[in-house]
Amino acid sequence: MQVPAPFDYARAESVDDALTLLQRHGPESRVIAGGHSLLPMMKLRLARPEWLIDINDLFELDYLVEDDNTVRVGALTRHATLLGSDLIARRFPIIVDAEKVIADPIVRNRGTIGGSLCQADPAEDLSTVCEVLKAQVVIRSMDGERVVSMPELHRGPYETAVEQAELLTEIRFPVRPRTGSAYEKVERRVGDWAVAAAGASVTLADDGTIADVTIGLTSVGLDGRTATRAEDALRGQAPSEDAFAEAARYAGEDCDPVSDQRGPVDYKRHLAAELTTRVLRRAVERAR
C-alpha cells in the first residue's frame, strides 16, 4: 500500500490565518481542500510537503454571487454545488456540461473549483471551461489582491501564477447577453480523464451573425490557449453547418495531441474536430 511521506497538519480558521500559516511554514507547505489531486501525488511521493494547511473551514470562500454583469464564484465552491446551481445553469451551461463528466459523485462532493484550477492539469475540464468563458481569478496574499486572466494563471502543466504564500480566492465570470456555451467530452470510461474534449462560447449579434466566439480544447495539446484560427473563421459569419465544419477542421489541424494509451494522434485530431462541431452547434442553439 502506498502511503505519503510524513507531514505536519494545520487547520486554517480564515483566509488571513491560511496565508499566515503558508508564510510561517514556507515553501514546503501546501493547501488542501478536496485533496483529490494532491493526495494521490503524495502517495506516489511525487509531492512531499512538510505541512498541509487544511482550508475546509473557510466558508467565506464558498459562494455563488451575481452582480455588475459578473458571476463571482468562491474558490472553495464544490463541483456538486456548481452542478446543482440554477444560476450557473442559466448563465453558463458549459459549466454544468463539464461538471456532469468530471470524475464521480464522491469527487464532485469534495473537489473544489479553486483546487481544479490550481492543479493546472492539461487534462482538467474546468480549466478549459474557464478559458472559454474568459474568466479571471483573484489571488490573495498578505499584501493584498491581484486579478489575473486564465492565460496568465496557467504558466504551463502543473504550474500557476499562484505563489507559495498566496491563495486563489475567487473566480469571476463575465455575463454577456445573447451568448450560449457548451462542453462535450469523450472518455474511455465514466469519470476518466478526457481522450479529447471541446468547449465553446458563442455571442450572437442582433442580425444573428456570430459577433464573438471562443473555442477551447482539452487533452489535445492546446493547453492554456484557444483555437484562434477556428475562432477567426467564424466571427462575422452566419451560423451554419458549413461554417462549423470549417472551424472544426482548423481546430483539428491546430491542436497537438500525443499518441498514448487513450488513442493515436489521428484519432484525437478527429475527436477534436468532431467535438468542436458539436459544441458550436449547441452553443448557438443556446444563444438563440
Global pTM value:
0.94
Among candidate residues 137, 152, 173, the one where a domain is terminated? 173
| 148 vs 151: CA distance, rounded Å | 8
- The reply to whether 261 and 229 lie within a common domain is yes
For Cα atoms 142, 148, 153, give the angle at the middle one, nearest 5 degrees: 95
Taking 80 as the threshold, does the pLDDT of residue 74 lie above it? yes
One domain, residues 140 and 209: no
Asked whether residue 168 falls in the same domain as residue 94, the answer is yes
Average of per-residue pLDDT values in the chain: 94
Q: Of the given ranges (110-114, 224-228, 233-237), which has the lowest mean pLDDT?
A: 224-228
Domain that holds residue 131: 59-173
In a domain, 156, yes or no: yes
Can you spell out the DSSP letters for 63-78? -EEEETTEEEEETT-B
Q: 268 near 220, Cβ under 8 Å?
A: yes
Say which CATH number the domain at 133 has: 3.30.465.10
3 lies in a domain? no
The predicted model gives 210-217 an average pLDDT of 97
- The 3-class SS string of 222-266 reads CCCCCCHHHHHHHCCCCCCHHHHHHHHHHHHHHCCCCCECCECHH
Span 107-113, mean pLDDT?
Answer: 91
Q: Is residue 1 part of a domain?
A: no
Asked whether residue 154 falls in the same domain as residue 223, the answer is: no
Say yes or no: 49 and 66 in one domain. Answer: no
Q: What is the pLDDT of residue 4?
A: 86
Q: 185 with 278, same domain?
A: yes
- DSSP assignment letter at 96: H
Calculate mean pLDDT across residues 223-232: 86
SS3 of 92, please?
Answer: coil
Chain mean position to CA 212: 20
Q: What is the mean pLDDT of residues 122-136?
A: 94
The verdict on residue 225 lying in a domain is yes
**Nearest by Cα to 197 from 122, 134, 135:** 122
pLDDT for res 40: 83
* Domain-terminating residue out of 122, 146, 173: 173
159 within a domain of the structure (yes/no): yes
Q: Is 165 helix (H, G, I), strand (E, B) or coil?
A: coil
pLDDT band with cut points at 50, 70 and 90 for residue 224: low
Query: Which of the two residues, 282 and 191, has the higher pLDDT score?
Result: 282
pLDDT above 70: residue 276: yes
Task: Report how far residue 204's alpha carbon sits from residue 213's, in angstroms, rounded to the nearest whole number.
Answer: 9
- 2 assigned to some structural domain: no
How many independent structural domains does the chain possess? 3
**Mean pLDDT over residues 39-65, rounded?**
91
